[in-house]
Amino acid sequence: MSGDIIRVVLADDHAVVRAGVKAVLSSAKDIQVIGEGSNGREAINLVERLKPDVLVMDLSMGEMDGISAAKEIVEKNIPTKILILTMHAEEAYLVKVLEAGASGYLVKSAADRELVDAVRAVAHGDMYMQPTATRALAQGIMRKSEHADERDKYEKLTERERDVLRYVAGGFSAPEIGEKLFISPKTVDTYKQRINEKLGLAHRSDYVAFALKLGLLSS
Q: What does the pLDDT look like over 101-149, one tens digit per residue?
A: 888 888 888 888 889 999 999 999 888 876 555 555 555 555 555 567 8
Q: Provide DSSP, 113-124.
A: HHHHHHHHHHHT
Q: Residue 114: give its domain's CATH number.
A: 3.40.50.2300
CA distance 103 to 83: 6
The percent of residues in the chain predicted with pLDDT above 90, rounded, is: 56
Q: What does the pLDDT look like over 80-95, one tens digit per residue?
A: 999 998 887 655 677 7
Same domain, 126 and 151: no
- In the DSSP assignment, the letter for residue 200 is T
Residue 188 lies in domain: 147-213
Split into its structural domains, the chain has a count of 2
What are the residues whose beta carbons fall under 8 Å from the beta carbon of 7, sequence distance 6 or more?
Answer: 1, 32, 34, 50, 51, 52, 53, 54
Write down which residue in 107, 140, 173 finishes a domain.
Answer: 140
Q: What does the pLDDT look like over 26-61, one tens digit per residue?
A: 999 999 999 999 999 999 999 999 999 999 999 888
Same domain, 151 and 172: yes
